[in-house]
Amino acid sequence: MKQVIANLKDGHIDLIDVPTSRPGSCEVLIQTKATLISSGTERMLIEFGRAGWLDKARQQPDKVRLLLDKIRTDGLLATWDTVRSRIDQPLALGYCQIGRVCEVGAKVMDLALGDRVVSNGPHAEFVRVPRHLCARIPPEVTDDEAVFTIPAAIGLQGIRLVEPTLGESVVVIGLGLIGLLTVQIFLANGCRVLGLDPDPERLALAEVFGAEVGSPDPEGSLAQALEFSSGRGIDAVIIAASTPDSGPMHLAARMCRKRGRIVLVGVTGLELSRSDFYEKELSFRVSCSYGPGRYDPAYEIDGQDYPMGFVRWTAQRNFEAVLGLMATKRLACARLISHRFPLDEVRTAYDRLTSGEPQLGLILEYPCPEIAATATPCTLSTGHAVPHLTPSGDRLAVLGAGNYGRRILIPAFRRAGGHLVRLVSSGGMSAAHIGHKMGFEEVSTDTEAAIRDPGIDVVVIATRHHLHAREVILALQAGKHVFCEKPLCLTLTELESIETAIRARPDRLLMVGFNRRFAPLVREISKRLSGLVGPRHCIVTVNAGRLEPGHWAEDPEIGGGRIVGEACHFIDLIRFLVGAPITRAHGLAGGRGEATLHLGFADGSTGTVHYLTHGHRSFPKERLEVFCAGRVLELDNFCRLRGWGFRAFRTRRLWRQDKGQKTCVATFLETVRQGLPSPIPLEEILEVSRISIELQKTLRPDP
């Protein structure tokens, strides 16, 4: 299928081929008929992409501060690699889509094949969206009307926060698409509306809809607002403008009556005047998208609706309310369409969007035959196919194209000479972009087909943690070598099944991406420790940082928790340096996601991992200290190693941070090619995985 993407590095718009993916259990797959280009959000994204590096930094001062901290801890080169990777990735544009249902997930019971629906899907021939972010279109609503449902729902949610009553005087500042739709919904609610915008054509359109209009000039609009409200002051203001200036906020506060309400729907500066708000006891709220449920994984991904008795208006119910207004013709949309473009002319459409010339609704129209029978997982050629005259043993299928996969794993396998055959991702866009860039022969959304492919020798697993065990077992049963990014699995039952699968295929190689043991400075530590007599005592301090509430890595069903998901790295690191089996392990839980882990070894050595989430981000993330036979070694963030008690060694420093990822991958591939023993013994992989899972289970749940 075709999908519109933008590159944030340069703002370039492209129409690319993307493999279509199947819907999840609470999702719907829709064949697109039309989409609406957002004149606000999308223009802002394109202009950000086209800006130079300095202008990008000025627009995101908070990100600049984070980068400076990262430079101090990880070094300039590592930070630059991170920035370049994050900025050079595709961005799916669009969030206003209409079409017909061509497949539904197992838990979707109220939609059927062929239903005409509206969703927040992007500009693509097929979109996969959560059931709760789409709604059936009534037969009385035309396609030209329905395509405006999403911006209208954004305006409606702002109005719900205003809580207007019949006869109130309200002002809408900014008469773009959302502003003009908001004007009409206010009027349908029985309010008197004054619209402010510098564009005379938009003012004229607002007048046609029934509003009084004026210029946003502060003094003129203040006098007009006073007259409009019969000298009482405005009851409520919605700001739908997009500007970095704080002028609209100041204007809204000045024209409000005492205890007036202000709601921000657009984007504006927020340098507020305390006196404006204090003297009048004004209320100010920021509206979040289409309504309750938006950005809530339980609502969007898991399909858990909010009970109507407690949350009357969710995002989906706002969609339905807007469609109801359209069905009764109280929301006019035909006048909001200024241009139409076929999908193949998408670059012309975006040139128009950023031209500075007046426009409102820009519609992309799609070739839309009968409901397609090809809306299934598919594989696309990237044009990079390379003939292999003899079996190489290292033809790769990579599962997952997330941040770590595209930044670290895939480049490492490419650099090590692996034959990149197939890249698989549940969202086809990321697979298509990375597949073309890195030289994969094919991109796909079908995991099982990639694993079963007889032309694949090695399966690299970089998906979310809860998928690892199943994919490892399927790959081993298919006779593939497996490289699994940590963790290997999330439960002891899964670990037992994996052990059964690998022991049934002793000719296959199973390796987990425990890369720290391959870091050059860790190898230096191992070299310095060799020959020393006596137990080794290792202390690892991890300044892991907090995750956003609800992050998937802390979800026990998906991420498994941070001990299984990340601290396993450091258990393996200590296991490697000690070189003896772990005989005892226990942990003490701290705050959210924090823990101290204590390890005891068969030779009397000990290990302690302080996994902390409440430290400052400018402090180095990882520090290792090793005490043995009157000597001490300290590794600081995989950049600098210092030693005490050694005659010929004091310090070694790298030009850039190296956590061993490249060496880990290269060693694995060479082992596959040569048929050598595993770089990490299977018993150690199983031991570290088991200890990590057991420690996660014994720690108290996060508060």
Integer CA distances (angstroms), 613 to 6, 72, 698, in order: 34, 19, 19
**Residue 354 burial (C-beta neighbours within 10 Å; 0-12, 13-18, 19+):** middle
Please enumerate in sequence order all residues whose Cβ is within 8 A of that of 151, keeping only pairs 6 or more positions apart, or say none: 36, 38, 96, 177, 178, 181
Residue 487 in tokens: 């963790």
Q: Could you tell me whether strands 192-196 and 256-264 are parallel, antiparallel, or unpaired per DSSP bridges?
A: unpaired
Q: What is d(CA 177, CA 172) in angstroms, rounded to the nearest whole number?
A: 12
Q: What is d(CA 471, CA 483) in angstroms, rounded to the nearest whole number?
A: 11
Compute and round to an integer the Cα radius of gyration of the chain.
Answer: 29
Residue 57 in tokens: 């930094």
Residue 660 C-alpha from the chain's centroid: 26
Segment holding 299, helix H or strand E: helix 297-300
The answer, as to whether pTM is greater than 0.85, is no
Q: Quick check: helix, strand or coil at residue 313?
A: coil
The phi, psi pair for 24, rounded to 5°, reads: -75, 180
Tokens 């207004």, residue located: 325
pLDDT digits (tens, 9 = 90+) for 481-526: 999 999 999 999 999 999 999 999 999 999 999 999 999 999 999 9
Q: What is d(CA 496, CA 473) in angstroms, rounded to the nearest whole number?
A: 11
pLDDT of residue 52: 63
Q: What is d(CA 42, CA 178) in angstroms, rounded to the nearest whole number?
A: 14
Helices (H), 367-491: 403-404, 410-415, 428-438, 447-452, 468-477
Amino acid at 409: L
Q: What is d(CA 339, CA 336) in angstroms, rounded to the nearest whole number?
A: 9
Q: What is d(CA 423, CA 430) in angstroms, rounded to the nearest whole number?
A: 10
pLDDT of residue 593: 78
pLDDT of residue 703: 40
Is residue 609 within 8 Å of residue 574, measured between CB atoms? yes
For the chain, residues with pLDDT lower than 70 are 48-88, 369-392, 700-703
Is residue 322 within 8 Å of residue 156, measured between CB atoms? yes
pLDDT of residue 685: 97
Q: What is d(CA 483, CA 692) in angstroms, rounded to the nearest whole number?
A: 19
Segment holding 496, helix H or strand E: helix 492-503
pLDDT of residue 375: 44
Q: Could you tell me whether strands 13-17 and 2-7 are parallel, antiparallel, or unpaired per DSSP bridges?
A: antiparallel
Segment holding 583, helix H or strand E: strand 582-589
User: Sign (positive/negative) of CA torsion 416, 417, 419, 425?
Assistant: positive
Q: What is d(CA 317, CA 336) in angstroms, rounded to the nearest whole number?
A: 23
Torsion of CA 108, 110, 111, 112, to 10 degrees: 100
Q: What is d(CA 115, CA 145) in angstroms, rounded to the nearest whole number?
A: 17
Q: What is d(CA 271, CA 280) in angstroms, rounded to the nearest whole number?
A: 17
Other CB atoms within 10 Å distance of the CB of residue 288: 16
Q: What is d(CA 581, CA 474) in angstroms, rounded to the nearest whole number?
A: 29
- Quote helix, strand, coil % in the chain, to nearest 5: 40, 25, 40
Q: What is the 3 state secondary structure string of 79-110?
A: HHHHHHHHHCCEEECCCCEEEEEEEECCCCCC
CA-wise closest residue to 269 among 242, 288, 232:
242
